[in-house]
Chain A
Amino acid sequence: MAKKEYAFYPGCSSQKGASASNYLTSVNAMCETLDIKLTEIPDWNCCGASIGYAEGGELPRHVMNARNFALAEDNLPGQQIVATCAACWLGARETKERLDASSQLMADTNEALKEAGLNYKGGADVRHMVEVLIEDFGYDELKKPVVKSLEGIKFAGYVGCQTNRPFGIDGESFENPVYLDKLVEMVGGEAIAAYDQKVTCCGGALAFSEPEKSQKQIKDIVESAYDHGAEMIVTPCPLCQANVEIYQSDVNKRYGTKFNIPVLYYSQLMTVAYGGSAKQAGLDGQLIKASKLEQIASKK
């Protein structure tokens, strides 16, 4: 398999001791198997996330993303930028498209970047890890290293918003994307095709600020997974993962439910299927333990 190299933009939540650190653990293991070399963009900064607009405004947000692009161009010339976080990818890609479309915005951005001793030339594409897997490798290629089947586990593929809209994965529908289901089936799991909450919003940042409004979203997402017989939820987005896992106990209090369903990343499923240990798959990072997956990981 051809070795592929990318400029890696991990994002704040993937750092050590942060909320999606187990995501990064599993991505590293998965990439090692697939012979993908991720080189972190040196001294990368926060993308501003979805909520940055409130205080940050337009140009400061774009400038934050452009700083990462300029650093990638200078230090990792010719490499495409890959993000694992949905919000990082979306924010960065939006900036890239706006800068490409407006020479005025590009000039303003570079005027600001100059203050940090940088200049952005408008090169590298910004891609999500899932895009890279599907488009640069393909399901057949990704299936080759599978040594353990996740047979017998039913997964609700929860795609969420920002890996799906407004950009999404090429060729997928916004209303019913199927790539996550295909990834689940690829590792031998059972994907619940009728899972009707797969593109529902988890409440995003409002899960923190206005929980009474956004927890209804989480309730619907989890409830539908149970109704369709899912044993686990799988997602490509760090905020979806965090909101749906962490707030289940709050949702239980609010609605009198008894939810307790593990929420995993696609990369954790793939790491286990590729023969990685529970630790390599970041399963020790689950608040709600994915016992069935741990058992498979510990099988010789």
Chain B
Amino acid sequence: MSDANTQAVEKYRNNFLKEVSERVEEGDWVKMCMQCGVCSGSCPLGSAWAHPPQEIFMMIRAGKREEVLTSDSMWMCTSCYNCIVRCPRKLPITHIMHGLANYAHRLGLAPKNQPTRVLGTLFWNNAIQNGRINELKFSLALYFKDGFSQGIKNALAMKDAGLGLLKAKRLNPFEIFGGHGCKGKKGIHAMLKKAQEIEARRKNFTA
């Protein structure tokens, strides 16, 4: 168990709703859910969720901490915002799902090889390295996340699309040598470091 997780368990004991309320982005809204199920019914990937949003909200209130934070359900969110615009109580459901996913990731409880978790990490790290996304490096990192031979297989499977994009000048092979980026990337790194410090302070994260 990670230090951050042990600390959270001790701090909040059996009050998972309080923990979510204080530490998860927009988590305070969970208590407003009236269990109508419109969010679950509106979700494009609803059938792929072990626990759709409405169920996740009830599980939070029932104190099912472990089940919620280790679930891969929140990672099925495609950020389409259907749930938000349809929710009769105007809960920011998309943000709560993002917040829960991020919190589970931060505590080290989210399923290790959950592909969207891996994708999200690769994406963010790629974006902040130079301040802008390097699409070529990002795609390659994703293809090769499970090792070299699987990477070759993945790249070959996407060969036609890749060549098509190359031909259409929508993929630049020279991006591998650096590509686009911000001049002020040092400042970006410093500012993000500070933002992480502030966030940890506000939400009482230890690690």
Contacts and interface: CB of A to CB of B under 8 A. Distances in A.
Interface of A: 12-13, 15-22, 43-46, 48-60, 62-64, 67, 108-109, 111-118, 161-162, 165-166, 174, 200-201, 203-206, 208-210, 213-214, 217, 246-247, 249-250, 284-287
Interface stretch (B4-12, B33-41, B59-67, B97-105): B97-105
B98 A60 contact: no
Judged by DSSP, the binding face of B is helix
B45 interface: yes
A128 B124 CA distance: 23
Interface in B165-195: 165, 168-172, 174-175, 179-180, 182-184, 187-188, 190-195
A48 B124 contact: yes
Contacts of A204: 78-80
Contact of A52 (B81, B120, B170, B171): B120
25 contacts: A17-B175, A19-B171, A43-B182, A45-B127, A46-B128, A46-B132, A48-B127, A49-B127, A51-B120, A52-B127, A53-B120, A54-B101, A54-B102, A54-B117, A57-B102, A59-B199, A112-B195, A165-B82, A166-B85, A200-B44, A206-B78, A208-B139, A210-B48, A217-B44, A217-B78
B50 interface: no
Most buried by A among B81, B101, B175: B81
A45 B127 CA distance: 8
B198 A59 contact: yes
A195 B7 CA distance: 52
A208 B141 CA distance: 12
A111 B116 CA distance: 31
Most buried by A among B115, B139, B164, B191: B191
Contact of A116 (B120, B125, B190): B190
B161 interface: yes
Given A43-B184, A112-B198, A209-B118, A58 B132 contact: no
A50 B101 CA distance: 13
A92 B183 CA distance: 21
Interface residues of B, number: 67
Contacts of B123: 49, 51-52, 54-55, 205
A246 B115 CA distance: 20
Nearest to A285: B168
Contact of B78 (A13, A19, A116, A205): A205
Contacts of A59: 195-196, 198-199, 202
A247 B164 CA distance: 12
B106 A166 contact: no
A246 B161 contact: yes
B172 A17 contact: yes
Given A201-B78, A205-B116, A214-B45, A58 B127 contact: no
Contacts of B174: 17
Contact of A165 (B84, B128, B142): B84
A249 B161 contact: yes
Given A57-B102, A59-B199, A206 B192 contact: no
Nearest to B122: A55
B28 interface: no
Contacts of A286: 168
